[in-house]
Amino acid sequence: MPFYSSLSGSAHNDARLAQIPLFLLGTVVLFIGQKNLPNWTSFQQLTTTILVILAGISCSLAKNHGAALRECTLWISLATLSAAVFIACFQNKTIKFIMQAITLAWLVYSAFFFLAWVANLLAHGETHFWLAVPGFDNPRFLNHAQTIAIPLLAAATIHTDKCRTELALSWIALCLCFAMLMALVARASTVSLILGTAAAVVVFGRAAFPLARRILLGGAIGFLIYLLIFQGIPHWFDLKTISSPHTPADLVSDHSRIYLWKIALYDVAKAPLIGVGPMHYSADFNGRGAHPHNIYLQLIAEFGVPFFVLLTTATVVLARRSLRHIRQTSHAPDTLTVATTAALVAALVDGTFSGNFVVPMAQIWICLAAGLFFASTNHPISTPGTTRGINLLAVVALLGILSLQLLFSVETIQEYIHKPITIDNRPALPGAEANSPRFWLDGWL
């Protein structure tokens, strides 16, 4: 998608469109392979039922039912996609293929990134690589994906069954990914990766040391590459380059977040039990952003306190159950388990002060990491071909999800084709902001 996006219009729109076939495919895979899903505990069944009811109430009381329903469909589709990855990864060869695809993807994109930057610098004598990020409307959107990708790339350098060429390519991809991260001054992603790696060490102890060492080494080599390319070339050829935020909006981003967080807290105070409605944080124009750059405040504000507390509890219980399963069945965790744990913790940290959970590209990477995590920590309860009764309730639920996804797809495709210039009832915006997706041009409200 980054290659296509760099040749067309809004990369955000293109990525949202690219989610559609993934969501539909994920639901079909889940429908076919539902027999391989572990049995739900009574606690999971109860919490899921209550969450659906709370989300339904929040949607029904929201100002714009269509926008609320589409946002819920998006969240459900993301969860469904993670479950589909979980099912697909029961076989080791599928996991191996995914890891190879991840390595290849970042190798190709890194080469594209560096070649485009150097070519532009040499051709024009000056470049601003804060804006030279192919396929992303904002360089931070790339950083959100890197927060997940770096631990996975580090895991790809560990497997001993790989040939030397594969290991070398994995190392190159890891180091180049780090170099891009540093070139774009990704503060939040760097902090998130450090804390994610530290969390993996705390949880798994010595078993996490190989991954931590590779992340540290990859970061060190990436820093040297950054110095060589982004500082060395301009110095040797006496060229100009800018590597840090330069606009007033960039420099006061911290203050902007506090401003957005206060709005979310106001929404919480206004509707603490059922929230203001999914996607309805952006129902009122605030001049800064369509989301609070904090996934936790966003969930509380839009879905209510009870929904957030129950969702958090269910997630923690599921994660603990998965990690406990490792200790009961194995002496040491799998490399992929350690890597995905680091990646998911990094994403959760990043979500405290960024929009990684609402950006299409990052959403897919987070779903991929979650599916790989549960696949590496849980063994299938049945193998393909084993007869097991069909759960009628699950079939009905999946058909309902598929119907919502089809509606979501039709509306998204229509908006993509027509590309509306303005949104009804939206305040007039300055010319520089008039074409920004984050200011409702591509919104659902």
| pLDDT reading at 24 higher than 90 | yes
Specify the pLDDT at position 420: 56
Stronger pLDDT, 164 or 431, i.e. the higher one: 164
What is the share, in percent, of the chain residues with pLDDT greater than 70?
A: 83
In Å, how far from its chain's centre is CA 343?
10
Average pLDDT over residues 96-122: 89
Specify the pLDDT at position 444: 58
CA distances from 418 to 3, 345, 366, 409, 411 (A): 22, 39, 30, 14, 11
Residues 127-140: pLDDT tens digits? 666 667 888 878 89
Specify the pLDDT at position 7: 57
What mean pLDDT value characterizes the chain? 84
| pLDDT reading at 251 higher than 60 | no
Confidence band of 257 (pLDDT split at 50, 70, 90): confident
Contact 197, 215 (CB under 8 A): yes
Specify the pLDDT at position 37: 78
Residues 6 or more apart whose Cβ sits within 8 Å of residue 32 = none
Specify the pLDDT at position 117: 81
Residues 396-426: pLDDT tens digits? 889 999 999 999 999 888 877 776 555 555 5
Specify the pLDDT at position 162: 73
Average pLDDT over residues 36-41: 79
Residues 48-85: pLDDT tens digits? 999 999 999 999 999 989 889 999 999 999 999 999 99
In Å, how far from its chain's centre is CA 90?
22
Stronger pLDDT, 264 or 229, i.e. the higher one: 264
| pLDDT reading at 297 higher than 50 | yes
Name the least confident of 243-252, 308-317, 382-391: 243-252
Residues 145-173: pLDDT tens digits? 999 999 999 999 997 677 888 899 999 99
Contact 440, 418 (CB under 8 A): no
Specify the pLDDT at position 118: 81
Specify the pLDDT at position 245: 46
Average pLDDT over residues 327-332: 69
Phi, psi of 241 (to 5 degrees): -155, 150
Q: How far apart are CA 34 and CA 338, in angstroms?
A: 26
Confidence band of 383 (pLDDT split at 50, 70, 90): very low
**Which residues pair with residue 241 across a beta bridge?**
127
| pLDDT reading at 385 higher than 50 | no
Name the least confident of 7-16, 52-61, 377-386: 377-386
| pLDDT reading at 430 higher than 60 | no
Angle at 356 between CA 216 and CA 55, to 5 degrees: 135
The reported pTM is 0.89
Q: How far apart are CA 184 and CA 250, in angstroms?
A: 13
Q: DSSP for 296-337?
A: HHHHHHHH-HHHHHHHHHHHHHHHHHHHHHHHHH-SS--HHH
- Which amino acid, one-letter code, is at 377? T
Burial of residue 112 (CB within 10 Å: 0-12, 13-18, 19+) is middle
| pLDDT reading at 2 higher than 50 | yes
Residues 6 or more apart whose Cβ sits within 8 Å of residue 12 = 137, 141, 359, 360, 437, 442
Contact 200, 334 (CB under 8 A): no
- Please report where in the chains the tokens 């603490």 appear, as a residue: 272
Stronger pLDDT, 236 or 86, i.e. the higher one: 86
- Among candidates 96, 94, 72, 73, which has minimal Cα distance to 84? 94
Name the least confident of 75-84, 222-231, 296-305, 435-444: 435-444
Stronger pLDDT, 351 or 424, i.e. the higher one: 351
What is the share, in percent, of the chain residues with pLDDT greater than 90?
A: 51
